[in-house]
Amino acid sequence: MSPWLTVVGIGEDGWAGISRDARRALLAADAVYGGERHLALLPPRIRARRVAWPKPFSIEPVLRERGRTVCVLASGDPMLFGVGATLARHLTVRDLRVLPAPSSISLAAARLQWALQDVVNVSLVGRPLASLNAQLHRGARLIVLSSDGATPAAIAALLTARGFGASRISVFEHLGGADERRIDARADDWTHPSVAALNLVAIECRGEHAGLSLTPGLPDDAYRHDGQLTKRDVRAITLARLAPAPRELLWDVGAGCGSIGIEWMRAHPSCRAIAIEANHGRQRLIEHNRDALGVPGLQLVEGEAPAALDGLPAPDAIFIGGGVTVPGVLDACWSRLREGGRLIANAVTIQSEAVLFAWREQHGGELTRIGVAQAEPLGAFDTWRQALPITLLHARKP
């Protein structure tokens, strides 16, 4: 039995650029869904009912068409930041067929003669501009799907503010169509406040610095904080014990300025984190830091554990950086942790250390003492200045 739904990729060249199979699917359809711009590209001989996407966007009207022959129009490759991927999460391969066209990213790479496997793709469609911050490294090549005509100017301003003003920007309007246009400039010389709404931005990063490291343990001055910060060396050890993996979720309980959750999410684009923090001022610090360090998707929960944990999705790992002495926090976290998940808790006071010792007697786990010293001047000489020692509890849930 043939799939009832076909997703057809279409470019700026419209009907002339789609495949024979795509044309047959559209001619046979009872209904065609798509954006108004895509629907306008179809010739009059397509007799199907034409339905523009609802606002706000939803695929529910399409899913209710089951039993009819339906097509959906999508830009370029529907499986690349497209509606095809959204529909595939709700339908089986027996229901859905996808007929792609060249994506705008592929077309831009061809124009620039960039190897696609060496390019980082970023979509700012429905996503914050701050998502770009995590990708800024000297020598990196980025292709960015714009949200609107003002996106290139916003990108140029961000690059300049982050020390990457020398980066080369190429903006492509209406790629693959009769109105295709290319604009090239340095980020710090960008003079176009707005371009065509349908555009894509290619960036060759050139900067005053290499960009922030991809490994855990960013410099402490990368964060805005009020002193409640897991320091760099301890943070690197803590992240190593948390061991982030793709698609995993972290709870950062007593998040402070958000450093652990932020570096967890920087480990892989699909890593997710929830920062739980009761202090209003620190919540604002977390909001600043997550944007500045390129992970605006970090979820912030305002409240104090254990009450603030109610209703949150079960995590794969939990870090407790503050509040281990609050009755019920450790047990509540342990009970919510997935099987095989990791719980890490750091203690600096005698009282919090005693709580970790007592909890370990009941549940097991490893205890590690971390001591870090920095060389500092003492008169005409140098001496070691010892930081407060940290006791780290590491337990894996059976």
pLDDT tens string, the chain, 398 residues long: the values are 789 999 999 999 999 999 999 999 999 999 999 999 999 999 999 999 999 999 999 999 999 999 999 999 999 999 999 999 999 999 999 999 999 999 999 999 999 999 999 999 999 999 999 999 999 999 999 999 999 999 999 999 999 999 999 999 999 999 999 999 999 999 999 999 999 999 999 999 999 889 999 999 999 999 999 988 999 999 999 999 999 999 999 999 999 999 999 999 999 999 999 999 999 999 999 999 999 999 999 999 999 999 999 999 999 999 999 889 999 999 999 999 999 999 999 999 999 999 999 999 999 999 999 999 999 999 999 999 999 999 999 999 99
Strands 199-204, 168-173: pairing is: antiparallel
Query: Residue 366: what pLDDT?
Result: 97
- For residue 157, report the phi and psi dihedrals to the nearest 5 degrees: -65, -40
Helix 280-292, helix 259-266: angle, nearest 10: 20
Query: Residue 208: what pLDDT?
Result: 87
CA-nearest of 247, 288, 250, 286 to 269 is 247
The CATH class for the domain spanning 105-205 reads: alpha beta
Extents of the domains making up the chain: 5-102, 105-205, 220-397
Residues constituting the chain: 398
- The DSSP string of 5-36 is EEEEEE-TTGGGGS-HHHHHHHHH-SEEEE-H
User: Within 10 A of 360 (CB to CB), how many other CB atoms are there?
Assistant: 16
Query: Residue 1: what pLDDT?
Result: 72
Domain 220-397 fold: Rossmann fold (3.40.50)
Strands (E), the chain: 5-10, 31-34, 49-52, 70-75, 96-99, 120-123, 141-145, 168-173, 181-186, 199-204, 249-253, 272-277, 299-302, 317-320, 342-347, 366-370, 373-378, 381-386, 390-396
Architecture of the domain defined by 5-102: 3-Layer(aba) Sandwich (3.40)
275/301 Cα distance (integer angstroms) = 6
